[in-house]
A and B are shown apart, each in its own frame.
Chain A
Amino acid sequence: MINETPLWEVFIRQRNGLSHRHVGSLHAADEALALSAARDVYTRRGEGGSIWVVPSSAITASDPDHTDEFFDPAEDKIYRHPTFYDIPDDVGHM
């Protein structure tokens, strides 16, 4: 064997109007086989409408060690949420 068959991440959109969601992974030598395999592995019960396959190696992920600096700063910006603002009930729904 020259090396291991690459890993792919599979995203499926069940029907138009939804977004593609990560459903799992599989191994395939190239993108066409990956797409076929995704169809056979992840849409056996009519789950499929559209499939994306992405080489796992192409994904850049945020580092869990940097979770604090990445995500905590957003937590106290409460003025980004509608409930931060007082509007009298008389104004009606806004």
Chain B
Amino acid sequence: MYAQGLIGADGRTDETPEFLAAFKARIDAEEKIEPKDAMPEGYRRTLIRQIGQHAHSEIVGMLPEGNWITRAPSLKRKAALLAKVQDEGGHGLYLYAAAETLGVSREEMTEELLDGRAKYSSIFNYPTLTWADIGTIGWLVDGAAIMNQIPLCRCSFGPYARAMIRVCKEESFHQRQGYEIMLTLCRGTQAQKDMAQDALNRWWWPSLMMFGPHDADSTHSDQSMAWKIKRFSNDELRQKFIDATVPQAEFLGLTVPDPECKWNEAKGGYDHGPIDWDEFWRVVKGGGVMNRERIAARKKAWDDGAWVREAALVHAEKRKARKAAMAAE
């Protein structure tokens, strides 16, 4: 689960015009670029940054939902949520592996996440306060992620595209799982329904922000579009998302918390009110409710696990040495 809104990628590149033109021709011909192929430095850097951010988002994204595994209100929901959060870990793993084909290690990427150099999707800096948040995240956050990830399956970089195909296949249950939780709540007691509306109120705007700044303010979009790392603009995807989810909210009997959200016959889509970009940038830059806790939790897992990782490596060396000694006898 993740959406676009790549932050701070540097697409500058200083290869010769001939090289860049030849590369662009391959991209335009819809050829996939594979890890060992010649590629502009800016393309490589953008991908490392984007795939890394995407992977980090999956990993940090395990935390807000993981917060409810131990409190899931039925055993069926507990099992489904556990399997879903496990999937997010898997998706992070596939993505780290895709980035590793470009010559950066998982350890390096992890260190960048932990020391704040690398970003992750800002949505995960919001807290999950009730069980309805789990439904809403599955429905809206995974819904937004799917909108973004389906075009990424056609991304020009082979390993990223292949990872996304696997991710999309697995994620198809995530959004349905979330929406089913919402349906059950909305057909339940008044308290459950209130819980659902409250969760929608808190997650609606952050979900819209997941698509990133408006096209006019999105600095890195053009180059990424030209290189077919990205296939649709932020606003296009956001519009698609709103058009899909507003009727779903109505079906639930819930109201999106935007008085300006209205069907616009002329454009064939919904209008929406202004997005609070100050909040977006504040949360991106560390001013969300959970930023510090999220990174602290990841750092604790990484630091606490160091002795385990080291022991496994030392054991492997010992075994190799014993095998060699036995062979020498």
Q: Which residues in A have some Cβ–Cβ distance to B below 8 Å?
A: 1-5, 7, 23-30, 33, 41, 44-45, 61, 63-65
Closest A residue by C-beta to B162: A24
- Complex alpha-carbon distance, A89 and B186, angstroms: 69
Give CA–CA (A7, B170) in the complex, Å. Answer: 23
Taking CB atoms, residues of chain A closer than 8 Å to B87 are 44
In the assembled complex, B117 has its CB within 8 A of some CB on chain A: no
Which residues of chain A come closer than 8 Å to B107, judged between CB atoms?
4
Rounded to whole angstroms, the CA-CA distance of A33 and B315 in the bound complex is: 12
Smallest CB–CB gap between B229 and chain A, Å? Answer: 20
Contact B36 A63 (CB under 8 A): yes
CB pair B306 A25 closer than 8 Å = no
Considering only CB atoms and an 8 Å cut-off, how many residues of chain B contact the other chain? 27
> Other CB < 8 Å A-B pairs besides A7-B97, A25-B97, A64-B37, 19 of them?
A5-B309, A5-B313, A7-B100, A24-B94, A24-B97, A26-B97, A27-B106, A28-B312, A29-B312, A29-B313, A29-B316, A30-B315, A41-B93, A44-B83, A44-B87, A61-B36, A64-B34, A64-B36, A65-B38
In the bound complex, residues from chain B placing their C-beta under 8 Å from that of A4 are: 105-107
List 25 A-B residue pairs with CB atoms under 8 Å apart, sorted by A's residue number: A1-B306, A1-B310, A2-B313, A4-B105, A4-B107, A5-B309, A5-B313, A7-B100, A23-B166, A24-B94, A25-B97, A25-B100, A26-B93, A29-B312, A29-B315, A29-B316, A33-B312, A44-B87, A45-B170, A61-B36, A63-B36, A64-B34, A64-B36, A64-B38, A65-B38
A41 to chain B: which residues have CB within 8 Å?
Answer: 90, 93
The secondary structure that dominates the B interface is helix
CB neighbours (8 Å) of A1 from chain B are: 306, 309-310
A24, A33, A64: the one within 8 Å of B166 (CB): A24
**B97 (CB) vs chain A CBs: closest residue:** A25
Name A30's contact: one of B38, B90, B319 (CB within 8 Å): B319
Binding site for A on B (CB under 8 A): 34, 36-38, 83, 86-87, 90, 93-94, 97, 100, 105-107, 163, 166, 170, 306, 309-310, 312-316, 319
Pair B313/A3 contact, Cβ less than 8 Å: yes
Compute how far the CA of A4 lies from the CA of B83 in the bound complex, rounded to whole angstroms: 28
* A-chain residues with CB within 8 Å of residue B313 when the two chains form the complex: 2-3, 5, 29
Known: A4-B105, A4-B107. A44 touches B90 (CB 8 A): yes
Expressed in whole angstroms, the minimum distance between the Cβ of B105 and any Cβ of chain A is 6
What is the CA–CA distance of A29 and B313 in the complex, to the nearest angstrom? Answer: 5
Residues of B within 8 A of A33 (CB): 312
The chain A residue sitting closest to B38, CB to CB, is A64
